[in-house]
Chains A and B, each alone.
Chain A
Amino acid sequence: MDINLFNFITAIFVGGAAGYLGSLMITKRMALVGDALGHVALPGMGLALLLGFNVSLGAFVFLLLGVFSVWFLERKSDLPTETLVGVIFVLSLALGFLITPEPELLHALVGDISRVSLLDAVVSVILSVSVLFVVNKIYKKIILASLSEDLAISNKIDIKKNNLIYLLVIAVIVALGVKVVGSLLIGALVIVPAAASRNISRNMRQYVLRAIFLGSLSCVLGIGLFMITGFPVGPLIILTSVFFFIISLIFKK
């Protein structure tokens, strides 16, 4: 497997955007949502690999389906959202295992950045920058709503609208990220750099910038380790980010 410059660029941008979004997800106590959605993406990735179209596109279509199903079931049942997400998540996982051709299964689960084409890279960079931009737009509003929903509403913030945008952005990042670290590990790429950043940050500015930086750095170093060792890229990226997390515990503020 060959790694070239646009693999690096893709990983830097997707990793940074994932870190940024992750910082918001931790504040909203939705750390495991990325994990669950990563699995929801699997059947879409399987179909894409089977029929030969873009993996991220397949993932995104199934993510939208998954988010819609949860929203629909919430209206049809009294069960907690978390439980419904659990049902959709195992359904997707089971379907994903059946659909995905066996030789491709490992690639779907742990990602393979060397398969990213030039076009993929361009699209990934554009979408990642869009995610950074959109998250920046909704960040303060969502933080305020997490401090006090009432205060947010009395300041004319439309919480439902912002939450919908937020969920769509998560879907985009998961769809992009499954190419880099795979469906099993995307949850980690979203959460671990942000968690490390939170350990060492005293204010929002530090928290956000360090989450982005650690997300990108983990991806770059992970690819570097792959070039040296030849082990799969996805796990190496996540191990790098967990390494930063452990370091951050030592410097915890």
Chain B
Amino acid sequence: MSDIILEVKNLSVRFDGNKVIDDLSFDLREKDNLVILGPNGAGKTVLLKTLLGIFPFQGNIRWRENIKIGYVPQKFLADKNIPLNIEEFFKFKKINSEEIAAVLKSVGIKDKTIFSKRIGALSSGQLQRILIAWALIDNPDILLFDEPTAGIDIEGEETIYNLLSQIEKERDLTIILITHDLSVVYKFADSVLCLNKKAVCQGPPQEVLKLENLNQLYGGEIKFYQHGH
């Protein structure tokens, strides 16, 4: 049995008196992948940001000591015209050109001409890879992803998830992933947390992803077929 990397106990987050997350408790073991499922407005992003220390909270969040957390945000780059190229973006962290090339290679970008490309000129799929590479620079123990495929077409979605699985195997790290995409869960998750302010269900995907749980989570009839992988 591997070590606990994150312990969340009785976590509540309030905005203007409204509870966005209500009395949530869960553990995460090292090298386990947790997928957080839930409808819009269920508090998924809030949970991720609270884990990162962005929002104030009540209750307990205990990360393993000296843990290095990598984060891939959902919203990035309000100003598409910013004169900032990829090499400069990477050099916000202490890193040299060879190291940049190496980390880019690990997310499937081998073409060095991307160094001098403006960050606003990238496609959403390329930008997502760049952000993943940027998060990987410090060799994090855990990666937090907020809907990594939002705004990417279905083909690109597929490759991003393949990339995540590949990175996870190569680097042997823990991943927390928010997604809407139920098909990803079976491929990827060791455990699932269904969130709608409270934990509606949690546990391994085969156990948890039953129709009644999903109906409760999404609040209605849902068409869902278990994949036979």
Contacts and interface: CB of A to CB of B under 8 A. Distances in A.
A27 B79 contact: yes
B83 A148 contact: no
A207 B83 contact: yes
B77 A153 contact: no
A202 interface: yes
Given A153-B54, A198-B83, A147 B77 contact: yes
A224 to B, nearest CB: 29
Contact of B54 (A147, A150, A204): A150
B79 A146 contact: yes
A32 interface: no
A29 B79 CA distance: 9
A64 interface: no
Nearest to B84: A204
Contacts of A154: 52-54, 69, 71, 144
Contact of A202 (B69, B77, B79, B83): B83
B92 interface: yes
A35 B144 CA distance: 41
Contacts of B83: 198, 201-204, 206-207
A153 to B, nearest CB: 5
A203 B85 contact: yes
Contacts of B49: 150
Contacts of B116: 202-203
Contact of B84 (A148, A151, A203): A203
B173 to A, nearest CB: 16
* Residue of A201, A204, A205 contacting most chain B CB atoms (<10 Å): A204
A143 interface: yes
A226 to B, nearest CB: 32
B71 A204 contact: no
Contacts of B77: 147-148
Contacts of B75: 148, 150
Given A153-B53, A203-B116, A203-B118, A148 B76 contact: yes
A144 interface: yes
Classify chain B's interface size: 20 to 34
B73 A151 contact: yes
B88 A205 contact: yes
B119 to A, nearest CB: 8
A79 B62 CA distance: 38
Nearest to A149: B54
Contacts of A143: 82, 84, 92
A115 interface: no
B78 A146 contact: yes
A140 B88 CA distance: 9
A151 to B, nearest CB: 5
B126 to A, nearest CB: 15
A150 B48 CA distance: 10
Given A202-B85, A203-B85, A204-B88, A151 B76 contact: yes
A29 B78 CA distance: 11
B88 A203 contact: yes
Given A27-B79, A144-B92, A203-B118, A151 B85 contact: no
A23 B82 CA distance: 11
Interface string A130-148: 0000000000100110111
Contacts of A204: 83-85, 88
Nearest to B86: A203
B68 to A, nearest CB: 11
28 contacts: A27-B79, A143-B82, A143-B84, A144-B92, A147-B77, A147-B78, A147-B82, A147-B119, A148-B73, A148-B75, A148-B77, A150-B75, A153-B52, A153-B53, A153-B54, A154-B53, A154-B54, A154-B69, A198-B83, A202-B83, A202-B85, A202-B118, A203-B83, A203-B84, A204-B88, A205-B88, A206-B83, A207-B83
Top-3 shortest CB links A-B: A154-B71, A203-B85, A207-B83
